A and B are shown apart, each in its own frame.
Chain A
């Protein structure tokens, strides 16, 4: 019996090791170990930035967001798209963006929550990271509300309890803009004017002010908009480069005109945008003959015709040939003009260019300053800002325009100057010109598309699957 006892003892010892049952995440980090140092705070804020680009199927500036911001407006044409039929059940790219906006907002809230309460993080990093987080929260809401209207408002105070937040209703967009204004105002103070080269791409105080100007324009607070844009101008941090084309050159990233830029790099973080804006093999001219690309944007003829003959930007924006060889028109789809070298990366494959996306740029600030000053009746400020942009384009100074004519000029200049940079749809919506401008622009070349726009397309539908999961969201008018 002694032996049995001995074995039983051995046995009991062997079985009762509960400690080894505790799961230890090896390739993950657990939240209670985290946000304990400056380094942690930076990794955390990097995570909040990451959703701006995203990874499939949660993408923003990787593809779906820049597509949505410029497609189906009055400049860019996708040959032969057929009628546009937006429904909550088939909302196009919306579900991809919808979830990603909120992931970014969640990540920003997490950083604000954890970093602001941490005692281990240095004051300098804390201020900067909180500024970055608030800028990011604001930019996610900027696009979310611009495209989808009312949204669920999450802040560091209410984001945590998922069981409750699952059922939150949407907050009116006016209240969300108040939050954005507060966040951006704070961020503009906390953020540095610039970073060292290794931190290129982070939000600066200039970026916060530029985005704040945009929000003020949306709220039609032109006084504040003018004041904020003027702050960016007077900071002296930014300038227009002498040559429009050089702004977009592959060797000129993060230049003096760039305010907030997404840094793509070949094979590291590939950009797909160039393939959409480049002619493909159907044009029959090398090197495009080697590019059997799936989709190509082309400009509407009305847009091409709107260029002043003197406009130097046209050579960068529009192309009808390369290296002296004319592109072969596509009679079936009525394509005889293409987008130009502004977006081209001729050495790249379809999905591996390093083309950066200029989210915010100084020319935009000048045009916003002109727009706001015009509304405020500050004519000289308005003309000075507008003419700075016109001058660089090789155009004569504008003068003597009425308030309404000036608005039209801004409408025109923003279309050309900022083409393909993710401003057009939101500008048209802000001015109340969507979708009418798109209907008119597409009438000749894409009549099917033109006839299919419905007035309520001004906002995208909330995806049906989301309304199903949280009925309190409601649906946008018309859908």
Chain B
């Protein structure tokens, strides 16, 4: 075959070639073969000359050829293997074998600004994620979701917006009250824009839009490193205080030509649906009433009755009328990557196509990603790197979530006897030729609509065009100093359009002919940097590495929207038909200019001192815009310095302190007027937010200590980290007396502290020639404390809509306390009921719980036997409270399973009256649940759950099909994959209701209403999904 001469395996770790250079004299050609322990040739091994500037890599047969001087030493590097140095001693040909790296010791991690460093020299904890774990069992909605259980101390919540939905990843606890707590995502050294333009802000409902992260393609990722602390991130500036996901993407192959394919198909089905009762049908007071949405009617025994459409029907249970609405989602992923090149020039091209059908009918995502990267070694001193990625994404029919006019609540509210077949008669064509909604059982004055109307007659579509790319050039000024300049662009054009046919309840009577909204959002991030990078040996055992440079970052965004309330031609969704188009526009931007320096002093390659300083000039701050922050740390490889018992093969300790600053928000320092289009040429009004003229940057201070110990020739490893971080000068917006004419004002205040422990345990219980068993376990604890807000303010609410629960930040407590109404008790702790026996609710809110888990963990077991591999991930969280607004909503209508008991009455709650006398009167289910759920403004205590849960998260079973002799394939791997297979444990409701007990949590605590700081309340979230599928990887 033609390709036989070429290398098939991908070359990795190109960054290692930047080694000090000394020209060798009296050169000659040296050849050799590199093999592994078992004698199999290793292709793609980097072969360089120590202190020289040339290098090559081995071919498919493990052979290499290099020109070297007589006394030269060859350095052989290959990811996953120990680096080996071989002095030539005059030889011109030899064979050498490499030993696999036990675990991580010489691992190279990519740190700030794309700088690759040996992990042992780092003074802070990092964690690498295997790419196979990202691109094999993938989460169709967002790559961040597939990090679940794999990253220590990460709390990942999925926004419930279907495919492409924004997700939230919080590392080491929440620290910002009004700012973002999301980790920063850095691709090839530059933070990417990761905005979410539509975030559901309250339980009434909204759209959870796509974020920037969901555009990332796991197949283009070379490696991913998680920097959890601020320490690691000091060089990124703002936002890095929340930790960083550092992603390096693939480059071209230096030796020949390779093609990689990855194809997957995954099927998704609803995983967490409410438990509903199937005994009592539509009606009130045990009487059939087809006009109401409540299921408080009589027992369903197949009675015949006239239904809401006026047709004769049978009054019988429809157990499948919720599950049957959802379809099986299908997600297709197809990737082709072509890599080619030689010593001088390498290119990598890839195309990925994602076609995802969500579980809500009509909700689809289509995404194309085209990627081209070209790297050149123009002269021995000059190299360039250029990349361009184009992303085109279209999401159709984003489902709204929350309560009103979201398909989920509309569906769950379906009376227990109404079949989906009946519900499909959702419209008829009216006199005007446009659809008119058929009658639908009314709940609470018709605020809900037939879910089929919602999915077929309204649509919310999100389109995105995004171009990301960079050009970079590196020049070696001397053999110890180089300079890299880089220009990076990330430009995103988003369009969101929403159409609502006339007759949609959400838009009831607002516009005639239907409503249409269109918004265009452009985000552009420009990033330019210049970095000097140097390395000197000061004394025999003393080496210094240093970086210094400057960064210019400019982000601008523009939002142009047109609202068309009312269309002249009914249901023609274009602004051209608008009765009264109402445009709004906003534009903004931030710019930061930074200077930074960082140096690491290494003694005997075993003791490292590290320090960095950065100064930012930030447009959001008042003149002179400037603030500085620094980090300092040390690490010691104790095992290299002290003689330790043989069982301990590696021991490293490190300590680090770092600060990260954050410039706050744009456009809040100056008083402004808003212009509004209106009659009389428009109007001007003063912005109702009182500006903060002396805005200070938020500062996160972080101290971190870690110990990394490995035993038995690296077969067991334990990395332990303790950290403490304090975020100060938080930007808060406070309500001011309304009489001043302002609504809110900004202040800088607060101190939020996170402390915690992280443990990463790795081990290889079995290692034999045929069978291998690897275990990776992560466990982490985070403890959050609100040390101070301001002198006057002790409590701060994150959400304004308090009907389910309010999320508050309260001095002396933890971030994310949930407050809601409760079942009233007297001073003796007895529960109070009315004389009729119904529960009495408190009139003021009380503490229900806190949404943060106390601990999180993940356990991955990987078994390999010959060509087979089996990987199982089990993960879970302990603690944390979530209030189910969905259940509160449904309980009012008698739909949940739990409302089935005591329909006929006879329920005594064992409570007392105001005089502490036991109440003997009994009530029925409707009395209890309508009191507890209070017409959607109920008592959270009845619907609060302990969100502790463990699940079988991922399973992949793969087989490397032996193709070595096929002459066509280089590798072929088929895997069967599955996600969210089963619950292992689920928490229960917090309140033990007399006569009922506790209920098992039915929803998935990982799905949230929004990817903002408003967490802990579940309301009309899309159900989470179970998925399974197949994946095929092939290389040519």
Contact = CB atoms under 8 A, between A and B. Distances in A.
Interface of A: 3-4, 7, 10-11, 14-15, 17-18, 20-23, 25-31, 34, 39-40, 42-44, 46-47, 49-51, 95, 98-99, 102-103, 105-107, 110, 151-152, 154, 159, 162, 165-168, 198-199, 201-202, 263, 266-270, 275, 292, 294, 348-352, 465-466, 469-470, 473
Contacts of B552: 14-15
Contacts of A151: 739
Given A7-B483, A46-B678, A99-B738, A29 B673 contact: yes
A332 B681 CA distance: 50
Contact of B679 (A28, A152, A263, A350): A263
Given A14-B528, A46-B682, A99-B738, A25 B510 contact: no
Contact of A26 (B550, B588, B625, B686): B588
Given A7-B530, A99-B738, A267-B579, A49 B509 contact: no
Those 9 A-B pairs whose CB atoms lie nearest each other, nearest first: A349-B509, A106-B741, A350-B509, A46-B683, A99-B738, A28-B672, A26-B587, A47-B685, A267-B566
A20 B625 CA distance: 11
Contacts of B985: none
B993 interface: no
Contact of A43 (B671, B683, B690, B743): B683
A106 B740 contact: yes
B605 interface: no
B684 interface: yes
Interface stretch (B112-120, B614-622, B810-818): B614-622
A103 B586 CA distance: 23
B619 A23 contact: yes
B287 interface: no
A349 B740 contact: no
B512 A25 contact: no
B739 A152 contact: yes
A468 to B, nearest CB: 9
A115 B736 CA distance: 27
Given A50-B676, A107-B686, A267-B565, A25 B738 contact: no
A348 B739 contact: no
A10 B624 CA distance: 22
B667 interface: yes
B674 interface: yes
A31 B672 contact: yes
A103 B619 contact: no
Contacts of B79: none
Given A15-B595, A267-B565, A23 B669 contact: yes
B591 interface: yes
Contacts of B586: 26-27
Nearest to B685: A47
Interface in B315-365: none
A22 B737 CA distance: 31
B741 A105 contact: yes
Nearest to A12: B550
B670 interface: yes
B304 interface: no
Most buried by A among B446, B552, B678, B745: B678
Contacts of A294: 445
Contacts of B667: 23, 25, 28
B232 to A, nearest CB: 24
B456 interface: no
Given A23-B666, A166-B740, A350-B509, A34 B684 contact: yes
17 contacts: A14-B550, A14-B552, A15-B550, A21-B625, A26-B587, A29-B673, A29-B675, A30-B673, A31-B671, A43-B682, A151-B739, A152-B739, A201-B680, A269-B679, A352-B511, A352-B512, A352-B565
Given A11-B550, A15-B550, A23-B669, A168 B739 contact: yes
B94 interface: no
Contacts of B585: 27
Contacts of A10: 530
A28 B674 contact: yes
B16 interface: no
A110 B684 CA distance: 11
Contact of A4 (B477, B674, B680, B688): B477
Interface string B267-292: 00000000000000000000000000
B741 A29 contact: no
B736 A469 contact: yes
Contacts of A168: 739
B671 A352 contact: no
Contacts of B741: 102-103, 105-107, 154, 159
A160 to B, nearest CB: 10
Nearest to A151: B739
